[in-house]
Amino acid sequence: MTLKQQQTQMLSTIFSLDALQKTSNEGDSNNLSAGMKIYQHSLLANASRALAITFATVHSFVGETDFTLLVKTYLKKHLKAQYDWGELGQEFADFIRQQSLKNSGVLAAIADLDFACHHTERAEDVEKDLTTLSLLNDFDAYQLTINFSAGFKVLKLNYPVDLVVEDIKQANEINSKLTTHDIEQQLNNTENGEYYYLIWRPNFQAQYQQITQHEFQWLTLWQSLPSLAARSQPSIGSALDKVTNETFSIIDWLPKAIEQQLVSSISTLTSD
């Protein structure tokens, strides 16, 4: 057996996370299995800890025991490709959605929101310079672009998760536990459909809020090019040209966006 094969075999055994069977390579000692169990235990403990940080709301809702069970099944289904524990869990929301859990849909939507917030908090810092707002007076809208706060993104979900998350937080504050029945009650009072969320990071902590469909469409124009150089970003003028809904008003939106520190600065588009 080559070293590569030996390493693949050991890794597969660890990720099986099942009761260990003796294999020919492990010799005749039960104690080798005891060692392998330590690696399995370590994998599950580390993954649970990492995902409990990333999916803090899901973790607080389902509790430690059920969360660990979820993580164990997740690890067996989605082999860990990430070397950074902070990046683990890209498929966790979809995985939850596919589980035969009561309210798995809303739990998955909460996981989507958790993951978006987590990524926003890890995003590259963006320098704020509100003095650049004066450029709005001096340049044409087709020469200017908006620089948003670190990690800003928008999300479309099928549930009003902000209401459920608020209930979970309130239940946690009084050391109570929200049940799936409570969630159903909460969802019964809301309309079926699509809910739009803005996630951004004014400082170090991610924030989110429900936004209108019109704001979602406007912000999507900017989110689609988050990492490109300034000259590749749309101008304010060209973005406004793409807004089809007449009820959206940048005059109303901009002061609010500045106040909540969603806008970090305004800059001119270079032409070359």
Partner 1 sequence: MFSLNKKTPTNLPLIGVGLRHNHFEDALNTPANIDFIEVHAENFFANGGASHAVLTDISQHYKISLHATSLGLGSALPAPQNQLDQLTNLVERYQPILLSDHACFSWAESENASVHAGDLLPVPFNDESLSIMVRNVERAQMQLGRKILVENLSAYIELPGSTYSEAEFLVKLCHQSGCKLLVDLNNLIVNAINQPLTTLTSEQIDSESTIDVLAHAKHWLDKIPAELVGEIHLAGCTPVGSEQLMIDDHGQPVSDDVWHLYHYALQKFGPIATLIEWDENLPTWQVLIAEADKAKSIAINVFSAEYEKSDSKKTLEVVHNDS
Nearer to partner 1, 138 or 204 (CB): 204
Look at strands 207-211 and 263-268 and give their pairing: unpaired
Nearer to partner 1, 48 or 235 (CB): 48
Q: Is 72 in the site for partner 1 (CB under 8 A)?
A: no
What is the smallest separation between the CB atom of 228 and partner 1, expressed in angstroms?
A: 15
Q: Is 10 in the site for partner 1 (CB under 8 A)?
A: yes
CA 152, CA 182: separation in Å to the nearest integer? 31
CA 128, CA 126: separation in Å to the nearest integer? 6
- H or E, element range at 236: helix 236-242
| DSSP one-letter string for 123-142 | SPP----GGGGGHHHHS-GG
Entry field: residues in the chain: 272
Among residues 22, 23, 30, 136, which is the contact residue for partner 1, using CB under 8 A?
30
Q: Is 202 in the site for partner 1 (CB under 8 A)?
A: no
Piece of 35-43, 91-99, 232-240, 242-250 that binds partner 1 (CB under 8 A): 35-43
Contact string (CB under 8 A) for partner 1, positions 210-239, x = contact:
------------------------------
Among residues 17, 56, 72, 80, which is the contact residue for partner 1, using CB under 8 A?
80
Q: In this structure, what are the phi and psi dihedrals at residue 4, rounded to the nearest 5 degrees?
A: -60, -45
Residue 34 token pair = 């005891």
DSSP assigned state of 21: P
Q: Is 110 in the site for partner 1 (CB under 8 A)?
A: no
Among residues 12, 190, 212, 245, which is the contact residue for partner 1, using CB under 8 A?
12
What is the smallest separation between the CB atom of 153 and partner 1, expressed in angstroms?
A: 14
- Contact between 149 and 264 (Cβ < 8 Å): yes
Applying the rule CB under 8 A, the residues between 86 and 105 that interact with partner 1 are 86-87
| DSSP one-letter string for 248-272 | --HHHHHHHHHHTT-EEEEEEPP--
Q: Is 46 in the site for partner 1 (CB under 8 A)?
A: yes
Piece of 20-28, 55-63, 98-106, 129-137 that binds partner 1 (CB under 8 A): 20-28
Among residues 18, 22, 35, 130, which is the contact residue for partner 1, using CB under 8 A?
35
Residue 151 token pair = 């990690």
What is the smallest separation between the CB atom of 163 and partner 1, expressed in angstroms?
A: 27
What is the smallest separation between the CB atom of 46 and partner 1, expressed in angstroms?
A: 5
| DSSP one-letter string for 86-111 | GG--TTHHHHHHTS--TTHHHHHHHH
Query: 3-state class of 148 per DSSP?
Result: strand
CA 68, CA 65: separation in Å to the nearest integer? 5
Q: Is 25 in the site for partner 1 (CB under 8 A)?
A: yes
Residues that bind partner 1 (CB under 8 A): 2-4, 6-8, 10-12, 14-15, 25, 27-32, 34-36, 38-39, 42-43, 46-47, 79-87, 121-125, 150-151, 201, 204-205
